[in-house]
Chains A and B, each alone.
Chain A
Amino acid sequence: MSTPILSVEDLRVTYGRVEAVRGVSFTAEQGSLVTLVGANGAGKSSVINAVSGLLRPAGGRITFEGRDITRTPAHKLVGRGLVQVPEGRQILATLTIEENLRMGAWHTGAGAQRSIDAVYDRFPVLAERRALPAGSLSGGEQQMLAIARALVAAPTVMLMDEPSMGLAPKIVDEVFRVIAEIRASGTTVVLVEQNARRALRAADHGYVLQSGEIVHSGPAAGLLADERIVQAYLGVETTPGQH
């Protein structure tokens, strides 16, 4: 097995005296799609935010492309290709769609316009409305903008936090189709989802989080096939978009 592009060892995240993440370890191979699933409050977002440098871990070690990034702040990681699509989309509503994409290219410099044109080709709805404030987009379109904005940053690893949250089933299908495309283009994807079945169906490898610890891991298909895991952690089949 080759060295994983992203590896997290014994990660711990605390908020005051509350331990949200208690010794989580996982790896992502180059070009794979890895998913962390679990209920609300299991610590998924804390893991993602610690990896992307938004949160300072209380302990553990994170390596990206062989280098220790445990305490590297977010603004230094984006330029190196570790890019996050944050929970709740976090689009800049008062900036135009074009300006949002330019913000995605904050670190890429000269090649920015080419990559912006490329995402316009991929998301024609964004191209049509490029001069409008991003706040005028629908929820699904805003999620596409958040993904497009991350793509402009030329990621080698894309961290996605609940990209299907609050979206209609049809839009969720589209989001997962885009995720599959991104992965097919060679970008490694780390996907965090409450919509566990959906995420596991898309993923190569899955980790089940509960109360800040990984309770199961393995090939995604294996996790989905294990009745006990499905019963205990993934719950009944939920309608996408409902939470």
Chain B
Amino acid sequence: MQQLLNGIFIGSIYALFAIGFTLVFGILDRLNLAHPAVFATSAFVGIELVERGGLSLWAALPVVFVFGAVLGLVIERLAFRPLKNRPDAHFAGLISSIALAGMLIALLQWRYGPDTRRFPAGAFPETRYEVAGAQVTLAQLVILAVSLTLMVGLTYMVTRTRLGRGMRAVAENPTAARVLGVDVDRITAVTFAISSALGAVAGVLFAINVNTAQLGMGYAIELKGLAVIIVGGMGSLPGALIGGLVLGLAEVFAVQYIGSSWRDVIAFGLLFLILLVRPQGLLGARKVREV
């Protein structure tokens, strides 16, 4: 039971990270490899907000959300928009976003040094609950609640609102969207902002979960995020949610029952297995670019 809950907590963070990743891919057909750097940067910024800004953990979350959104706008403006008319725009964006990620990590190292950083003592509430014999901290419950709320909110936004309709129109057919009067550049920028805001919150939640932020945390989650969106079905939001939870659970149970050095073997092995059975991904049966 304890492992099941731990798997769900970490899995919900993976899902939140991956959903931001897959949002840009699903709507704009671009892979933003600066997303992991947003994740890492926001973890450090979150800790700094609590440490120096004196904010509580929970007050830091909306601030980081906005910070992530702004970072997303910067990424789109610098790494993607100037290249959008190139015939190889997909590949060029991939490379330029890797470069931007490298710059962000270098800035982090300059600002915070190479060492692991933690939240200040006393930042975490002491409240603990017992759920079916398992120990759960208040922080873990908040992690789960925030992830789920953001994912549900995003799904509602995409499926039910005017902005979401505009995003789906751009995803399916940018020319048709332009004919209908949609400012495709604006939708593109907003998509990046939302995606990065989710990635940023995922970064802080991750840092809260393990009380650690490291320069390499983006690299560690990058591969997991990519695996999750491939397994979930590229561009599928519910697919990313399920894929994230599956990966989180697989990791936790692999560590518990087989050994920590087998964690990645088991977790990624399971993902391979899923792809062998369903090459299109869990929810990738429909058109790839459908959200």
A interface residues, Cβ below 8 angstroms from B = 52, 54, 73-75, 77-79, 83-84, 86, 90-95, 99, 102-104, 106-107, 149, 153
Contact = CB atoms under 8 A, between A and B. Distances in A.
A75 B185 CA distance: 10
Contacts of B172: 92-95
A108 to B, nearest CB: 9
B87 to A, nearest CB: 13
B281 interface: no
B203 interface: no
B168 A92 contact: yes
Contacts of B177: 103
18 contacts: A54-B178, A74-B178, A75-B184, A78-B179, A78-B180, A79-B181, A86-B179, A92-B173, A92-B176, A94-B287, A95-B169, A99-B165, A102-B162, A102-B165, A103-B177, A103-B182, A106-B166, A106-B182
Contacts of A91: 176
A148 B166 CA distance: 18
Given A99-B165, A103-B169, A90 B181 contact: no
A99 B182 CA distance: 14
Interface of B: 162, 165-166, 168-169, 172-173, 175-184, 287, 290
B174 to A, nearest CB: 10
A174 B169 CA distance: 27
B158 to A, nearest CB: 12
B177 to A, nearest CB: 8
Contacts of B175: 54, 86, 90
A54 B182 contact: no
Contacts of A74: 178-179, 181
A149 B290 CA distance: 21
A106 B165 CA distance: 9
Nearest to A86: B179
The 6 A-B residue pairs with the shortest CB-CB distance, nearest first, are A78-B181, A90-B176, A75-B183, A86-B179, A74-B178, A106-B181
A95 B168 contact: yes
B188 to A, nearest CB: 12
For A90, A91, A99, which residue has the most chain B Cβ atoms within 10 angstroms?
Answer: A90
A99 B171 CA distance: 14
A106 to B, nearest CB: 5
Nearest to B175: A90
Contacts of A95: 165, 168-169, 172
A174 to B, nearest CB: 22
Chain A CB count within 10 A is highest, among B177, B179, B184, for B179
Given A93-B172, A95-B168, A103-B169, A52 B179 contact: yes
B58 to A, nearest CB: 36
Given A75-B181, A95-B168, A149-B180, 14 more contacts: A52-B179, A74-B178, A75-B184, A83-B181, A84-B179, A90-B176, A95-B169, A99-B168, A103-B182, A104-B180, A106-B162, A106-B180, A153-B180, A153-B181
Contacts of A94: 168, 172, 287, 290
A51 to B, nearest CB: 12
A52 B180 CA distance: 10
A86 B176 contact: yes
Contact of A103 (B166, B183, B184): B166
Contacts of B184: 75
Contacts of A73: 183
Contact of A75 (B162, B176, B182, B290): B182
B182 to A, nearest CB: 6
B73 to A, nearest CB: 19
A197 B179 CA distance: 27
A93 B168 CA distance: 11
Contacts of B166: 103, 106
Contact of B173 (A79, A90, A99): A90
Contacts of A52: 179
A112 B177 CA distance: 17
B22 to A, nearest CB: 16
B49 to A, nearest CB: 37
Given A74-B181, A92-B172, A92-B176, A103 B290 contact: no
B179 A92 contact: no
A27 B181 CA distance: 23
Contacts of B176: 86, 90-92
B118 to A, nearest CB: 46
A55 B168 CA distance: 23
B287 to A, nearest CB: 6
Contacts of B162: 102, 106
Nearest to B184: A75
Contacts of A102: 162, 165
